[in-house]
Structure 1
């Protein structure tokens, strides 16, 4: 069986619209909120906390990856308003064959938030 696709959430991120780091960090808040949603649903991806995706000017940042799939880094994810959108995007990513979710199929709130696209290794 192939491993599930992964939604990696930077837990050290500070939101790009914040005037100073929060405690807990905005990325940690995003991770906790996604965990709450995942606990109540059978989602086709797993969620992992990571430290620093080195996208600090565009925090909060997340990365999507999976075996044989293109990887993506998204920035400016709002932990207050984008949790459902992020779950929808990660589900569509997980269900795609090559990790490519058409621009029109992405949630409106995240369409313009792509920072990088990374080719698959295998």
Structure 2
């Protein structure tokens, strides 16, 4: 059995539009909000906290990964306005064969937030 794809959320991020470092960190807020949203539905992915995705200038950051799938890093994810769009994108990523979600099928708020695309190992 293959593991579910993952949505990794950096819990140490500060949102790039923030005035300064927050407590709790904006990334932790994002993680908790996505966790709550996921608990309300049966999602085809696992949610994991990440200590740092080294994308600090474009925080809050998330990364998608899965077996035989392209990986993606997204930045500038707003913990106040993008929760549902992030969940939608994670579902689309998980249900794709190779991790590629067509640009036009990505939620509008996240289309231009791709930082990197990483080739699959398999």
TM beyond 0.5: yes
Which residues in structure 2 correspond to 1:1-80 (within 5 Å)?
Answer: 1-80=1-80
- CA RMSD in angstroms, aligned pairs only: 0.4
1:89 maps to 89
The SS at the match of 2:41 is coil
TM (normalized to structure 2)? 0.99
Counterpart-to-counterpart distance in 2, 1:5 and 1:15:
25
Q: Which runs of 5+ in 1 are unaligned?
A: none
The SS at the match of 1:8 is strand
TM (normalized to structure 1)? 0.99
Quote how far apart the aligned CAs of 1:40 are.
1.0
Q: Which runs of 5+ in 2 are unaligned?
A: none
